[in-house]
């Protein structure tokens, strides 16, 4: 079998497999032939394209015809690649009939520099990953300690606060006729402060349970209207002090819902009390119960200042704050709505808000109406 000439072997290698740029240009500097490597680098068929359109040459200084007059000189040429990043080649321009043969090899120095930079970035990324992993472990331990502290503190504070509330109630109920108006005012202040502290402790305890993954539900069948009435009773005193009317309307009859009654009652009280606290005096808070898509929907709308759209995302984050202020200076730590969302999420429901500046806010809680002992089994 006769051997193939060396020139033919070299040409075939360059044309099909070699990592060498090869372009054949005609007299108009259009590409009439290219090798596989050139087409792969540029991601284009190349045939018929002008040479100037496949290189980076903003000042139009590359003239293949002129460069071919010095065929042994090397010229740095930047090619447009399929990755939209220029690739540098050392190119020779050789006369070929009426046209020009362009041969180019990669800039090895540039490749080595890029390789070293990538290796350096990889090492830096690995170091940062290790540091992040260590920081995450430390944060997890700190979070566990924080949850333990909150849980222990909340548990230990509940009893003395409960005693303060009980004795305040006793004095208000039994000794009112023997106390001056000033002393009665002092007692009411003690009672309201103790009530705020109790809610604060309950919120801290709920937050620590949620973070530690020990937030369990005690599910049973409950009348949502009864839970709403209980929540309204707990908010009624605050509403009376502000001369705020709570209007309950459009209450659809609903079957008992399978849920944690005390937790959902807590959610309703949080939302309604917020509506009262953010509304001006002599305003109206409207509460509605309706059904929608196999869900029980409780809506609470107020006539408060509204919440900027850019701040709504902060509402349901722990310790989140907005620019809206409660109208009578009521205190808040920003846990109520975050806990409420966790509770509603645990019931496979959702809680949303729509608000407009100077036009109030509408909070909506949607809970699945299940027919079996699981909230998801909607009938």
pLDDT at 333: 57
Confidence of residue 48 (pLDDT cuts 50, 70, 90): very high
Helix then strand then coil, in percent of the chain rounded to 5, is: 45, 20, 30
pLDDT at 332: 55
Which domains are seen in the chain, by residue range? Answer: 6-106 (3.30.450.20), 112-211 (1.10.287), 220-368 (3.30.565.10)
pLDDT at 153: 66
Question: Is residue 31 a contact partner of residue 45, using CB atoms and an 8 Å limit?
Answer: no
Question: Is residue 364 a contact partner of residue 298, using CB atoms and an 8 Å limit?
Answer: yes
H-state helical runs in 57-180: 64-67, 108-174
- Give the least confident one: 135-144, 329-338, 362-371: 329-338
> Looking at per-residue confidence, does 367 or 309 come out higher?
367
Confidence of residue 1 (pLDDT cuts 50, 70, 90): very low
Residue-wise pLDDT tens digits, 184-210: 888 888 877 787 677 777 766 666 666
Residue-wise pLDDT tens digits, 236-269: 878 888 889 999 987 677 889 999 888 898 889 8
pLDDT above 70 for 26? yes
> Looking at per-residue confidence, does 348 or 315 come out higher?
348
């Amino acid at each position: 079998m006769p051997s193939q000439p060396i020139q033919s072997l070299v040409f075939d290698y360059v044309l099909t497999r070699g990592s060498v740029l090869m372009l054949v240009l005609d007299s108009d500097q259009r590409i009439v032939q290219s090798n596989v490597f050139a087409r792969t680098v540029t991601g284009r068929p190349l045939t018929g394209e002008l040479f100037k359109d496949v290189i980076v040459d903003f000042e139009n200084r590359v003239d293949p015809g002129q460069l071919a007059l010095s065929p042994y000189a090397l010229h740095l040429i930047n090619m447009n690649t399929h990755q939209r990043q220029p690739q540098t080649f050392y190119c020779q321009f050789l006369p070929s009939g009426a046209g020009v043969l362009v041969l180019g090899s990669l800039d090895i120095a540039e490749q080595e520099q890029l390789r070293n930079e990538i290796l350096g970035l990889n090492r830096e990324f690995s170091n940062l990953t290790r540091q992040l992993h260590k920081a995450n472990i430390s944060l997890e331990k700190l979070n566990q300690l924080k949850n333990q502290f909150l849980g222990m503190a909340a548990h230990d504070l509940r009893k003395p606060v409960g005693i303060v509330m009980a004795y305040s109630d006793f004095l208000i109920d039994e000794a009112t006729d023997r106390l001056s108006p000033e002393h009665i005012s002092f007692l009411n202040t003690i009672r309201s402060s103790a009530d705020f502290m109790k809610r604060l402790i309950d919120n801290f305890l709920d937050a620590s349970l949620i973070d530690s993954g020990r937030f369990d539900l005690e599910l049973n069948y409950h009348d949502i209207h009864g839970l709403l009435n209980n929540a309204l009773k707990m908010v009624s005193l605050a509403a009376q002090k502000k001369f705020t009317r709570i209007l309950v309307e459009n209450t659809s009859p609903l079957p008992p819902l399978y849920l944690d009654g005390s937790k959902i009652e807590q959610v309703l009280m949080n939302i309604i009390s917020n509506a009262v606290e953010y509304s001006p005096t002599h305003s109206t808070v409207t509460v509605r119960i309706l059904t929608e898509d196999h869900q029980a929907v409780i809506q609470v709308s107020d006539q408060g200042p509204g919440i900027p759209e850019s701040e709504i995302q902060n509402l349901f984050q722990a310790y989140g704050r907005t620019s809206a202020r409660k109208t009578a200076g009521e205190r808040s730590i920003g846990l109520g709505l975050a806990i409420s969302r966790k509770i509603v999420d645990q019931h496979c429901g959702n809680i949303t808000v729509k608000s407009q500046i100077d036009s109030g806010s509408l909070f909506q809680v949607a809970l699945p109406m299940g027919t079996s002992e699981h909230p998801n089994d909607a009938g």
